Structure 1
């Protein structure tokens, strides 16, 4: 396909990777790779980033969309992990306020379900100390009557009350894209659809062979250091010495009218918890947490995953009677958890790990969305020490992702980047193609806008978006039809068997 937008894209062309040796080449365009690239570029290191598919196309667009310290980790006694994440949550509220919306969580408690209210009450007070106080004051406990008032339709059987605490809602893929845009603005070269084929150590540099998958070409890039930040793919790279245990998380989206929620609700199911998360006119339900050994590119949302989540939600809200026909969309992502070196599946941690497995080669694994900035800082600290480079101090915790105007306003950059999808318009599509390297229809529909997950009639919208993209990227009629066919194929494998509500009336602009 043509690439007419390359010449004025904010995110750069692959040929620029070859103009001079790099200090850092980051492999992986998810949230961790984006954080490393931004930190390195802001410290003055010559930085490149490549992603074999689209930016944020893996785990980083398939999360629960939460910035959180982790109440579940607190219950497991992992206070240090909660403290670390809570500090980063505060940082993200400061540097990306358009992608960190405070949200209250209500956790109903029941008799003999393993989550007693007195114990959770102590836990949320400790959570306040670790995470700070959110909107509406601090955490607290509620009796049965107050809980039923705050959570309409909640099953009152064996209910003992609830506790409440505060975290934040985000947009995971937008957080990645805004971080990469910031890295580029500070001098990094970032390219999607560029795959690492091989990397060999030659003297004090790495010789990296890359394939540009959009305009098939072999590129050879010299780099003083390489960072493997490929998440679920990290143990597949040459030179990698990572050991992973992958688990799958599935999320469902329904109309908010089917389950009207003003606050997020935590549902306990044995030792596991699920969330009911309000998202504009929609509600996100999830997530599952099961071991996974299948293909990595597009993990399925199986009917049994849907049945499990709907059963837990329907048990909690009996009048809802949700069925697969109520689903607007689904997504399924993989968590690349750090496993024992010998493959012991019981030794799993949500902590991140940064290890130099070969001279100048770093494997960065584990962690969570909330702590990505810290992972980037610690990785670049290690690289600077290894290279003996003169580098500026880390500024990622204080420098906003989106530059502000003279009066402190965020400007038009956030008109197409926020918690909720922007209006469906040719102007938004133009921005995504010209400034954010959108190359395929799913790049826009899924990761840059979330229109696919927000609207039932996403296939109808995709027809309009494909025509707008054709105008921007110079697609022929045949290429446009191929893109529509590709998109239909990517979104066809869904357990959704029908709809019970009409498609929203979306005004195209």
Structure 2
């Protein structure tokens, strides 16, 4: 018999019933990192919170970023000091809250003759960046001359090299960070549902007080009532604003958001080996990153105005060539070609228009700061912002939510106490002061318990699930003979993970599992034809898919992963 997918130990029907039966303090539209952050903060304050996501958690911008928890060096040049200070200081907070998902990494910023910002300017910028962010002394910047830089990274192009700056950033799994934040909200009482598209707003006595949604699994329409509704739909926020205009029979407001597309390429680590992550200034004034992460090195991002399909943005040939040219110019011996690419992803950022005639402005120059709008009928909308600052963005939203709720609603002191201190789901048992040591010891322990488990796969499991990794293996269905065995040799995805992702993480579709519950679809999508078939077989048996449904799921996943052959 086909099983339901589930979330946090309960079947999907359990959460649907709660959404229909209760009246919430807060309804959040959007299950990306912004909506997830709002849900966690609201739940910590004791607010009865619901989250509705139209597609899958993190299916938009929040699984397609450069996967950096950083302050954004180039924003200093644009004068966005508050953004840099806030995002920089949040790096340390997120490292404490989720050490298995937020990893420190040294970056080299090489400076060449003719670059827009020379060695002195960039050295000062990183010095200021470190101080604005309150960076620990051990991770503060070091200025290197050309000889010292080449000693650390001998494959760098030597011609015109003036030196460089060594500094630190943090790398994350953006989709998993979103998921862990939503799981944390659920632990505090939030009700969270994906494949639940909001198709209407309920307005009574001039106030927005609920949403009509369609269950993507059953096709049924259902009503969720709440005192306050927040629109955190990312690139789709104007669709939600359009629903409000339709409900209240008012004219839609002028567009306030512009969309920017960014693509990334990944390569096998042995094809593009890097001793350090690299940040390079480009001719058009951007920073492009080359980042090693376990078995891949990825390169990105581009930044182009975009008006196409928001859920399935393309990766044009000219943008792929642009990133290849940058990588080959910096590392001339690599001689990378398109055939070396093992993964491609493309994402859309929603950027707030300044209202100062920036329709023709290059998107790289549009602010990444967030803005909040409250409509006449009480709908609260948040747009813009950065992955790194999602917790602070949630704090700002809650200022408006609190003002809209009856006096005395919520335990705001509790939220203030726990927000920066309570670990995210999966991190409760990980010591903040020795997370790397804990990961090594726990990997060894898991290997002792499961003879088929390799150290590499154990570490991947721990990076995905943190202190829940052991339970993923231990809770495998009894008919699964070898839960610690990889589904296919050489690919870090274990048999036990499929039922876990379906049963506890609400993976409804093949692409949910391949592109978001793991990073495989983003980093190694072009190598995954066999894996897609193998995982589709397992999901088909569990969820009762027809053969036609299975074929459709594979086609959708291939499209999302830019698997073109």
Secondary structure of residue in 1 paired with 2:496: helix
Task: Pick the aligned partner of 2:147 from 124, 132, 145.
Answer: 145
Q: How does 1:73-88 map to 2 (within 5 A)?
A: 73-88=75-90
Change (3 A) 1:343 1:14: farther
Work out whether 1:298 is the aligned partner of 2:312: yes
Conserved in 2, the CA contact under 8 Å of 1:103 and 1:169?
yes
Offset at residue 83 of structure 1 (A) = 0.4
Q: Give the CA RMSD over aligned residues.
A: 2.5
Task: Pick the aligned partner of 2:538 from 464, 468, 477.
Answer: 468
Secondary structure of residue in 2 paired with 1:13: helix
Distance 1:330 1:77 in 2: 32
Q: Corresponding residue for 1:4?
A: 4
Q: Corresponding residue for 2:391?
A: 373
Q: Corresponding residue for 2:232?
A: 229
Work out whether 1:402 is the aligned partner of 2:405: no
346-355 vs 258-267, greater mean Cα deviation: 346-355
Conserved in 2, the CA contact under 8 Å of 1:26 and 1:37?
yes
Distance 2:339 2:492 in 1: 25
Map Cα deviations across residues 418-465 of structure 1 (whole Å, 9 max, x no partner): 7xx993112111111111100000100110011223435311112221
Work out whether 1:392 is the aligned partner of 2:388: no
Work out whether 1:356 is the aligned partner of 2:374: yes
Q: How does 1:39-50 map to 2 (within 5 A)?
A: 39-50=41-52
Q: How does 1:77-226 map to 2 (within 5 A)?
A: 77-133=79-135, 137-203=139-205, 206-226=209-229
Task: Pick the aligned partner of 2:286 from 227, 248, 272.
Answer: 272
- The runs of 5 or more residues in structure 1 that have no matched partner are 498-509
Q: Count the aligned residue pairs.
A: 494
Secondary structure of residue in 1 paired with 2:375: strand
Conserved in 1, the CA contact under 8 Å of 2:24 and 2:49?
yes
Distance 1:3 1:64 in 2: 35
Secondary structure of residue in 1 paired with 2:110: strand
Work out whether 1:437 is the aligned partner of 2:506: yes
Offset at residue 390 of structure 1 (A) = 2.3
Q: Corresponding residue for 1:18?
A: 20
TM-score for the superposition, normalised by structure 2:
0.82
Work out whether 1:316 is the aligned partner of 2:330: yes
Conserved in 1, the CA contact under 8 Å of 2:268 and 2:295?
yes
Work out whether 1:334 is the aligned partner of 2:348: yes
Offset at residue 484 of structure 1 (A) = 2.5
454-463 vs 23-32, greater mean Cα deviation: 454-463
TM-score for the superposition, normalised by structure 1:
0.91
- The runs of 5 or more residues in structure 2 that have no matched partner are 246-252, 432-437, 447-460, 467-489
Distance 2:157 2:233 in 1: 42
Map Cα deviations across residues 316-366 of structure 1 (whole Å, 9 max, x no partner): 111111111000010011111110347633483211112212343100111
